[in-house]
Amino acid sequence: MEQNMNEQKLIQNVIEQIKEAQLKLGAEKEVIRLYFPMASMNAILGTNYTDEQKMLAALRTNTVFDTTVLGRLKFFIHEGRFEVRVPAEGAEYVAGEIPDPPFLKAIVELFAHHHSLTIEEICACFAQFDKTYHCEKMTPGTDFDYAVYFDDAEYDAYYYCVKMEMGHTIYHRFTKEDYQMLID
């Protein structure tokens, strides 16, 4: 059974992930490979596939992915996850055409220059953009100490899960749907 897909949401997610990587590592004209668990892919696409091969076939035969702003997206299954392969022209497009989101740039720079941040320093970065951000202590066993996010997606729609361990502070960005799966 064919399912309707929110192709544009996947394309936007891929653009946002490439932009984050470029802010962290610099921009190169190179093939980009991004990996998604099936549950994440279903959440992004608004589908409910349970069979990897059926989802893969649907992605590969969807002509929307042949002519995106990133070029032709290719799909594979790699070690139980979906690989989205973006051509080098897609990385070049993101670097040249997609402006750096101000909050994302600020948080990446904060983590790049300070390896053992406190939660107060991280929250101060959020507060520079919107005083009504949320900072929640996470339940033990979730692999993270805090979740920090905005109500207003205008600043940033992701949930930043923070881990403080052995003198280092790291974050991982999750979509709202992936964050919900993480805590459930």
Region 24-50 average pLDDT: 96
pLDDT confidence of residue 158: 97
Region 77-82 average pLDDT: 94
List of residues 6+ apart from 132 with CB closer than 8 A? 150, 151, 152
Would you place residue 71 in the very low, low, confident or very high pLDDT band (cuts 50, 70, 90)? very high
* Average pLDDT along the chain: 95
pLDDT confidence of residue 37: 96
List of residues 6+ apart from 17 with CB closer than 8 A? 34
Say how many C-beta atoms besides its own lie within 10 A of residue 181's C-beta: 14
Q: Confirm if 144 and 161 have CB atoms less than 8 A apart.
A: yes
Q: Confirm if 91 and 28 have CB atoms less than 8 A apart.
A: yes
pLDDT confidence of residue 89: 97
Q: For 145-179, how does the pLDDT look when each residue is reduced to its tens digit (9 = 90+)?
A: 999 999 998 999 999 999 998 889 999 999 999 99
Q: For 116-142, how does the pLDDT look when each residue is reduced to its tens digit (9 = 90+)?
A: 999 999 999 999 999 999 999 998 888
pLDDT confidence of residue 2: 67
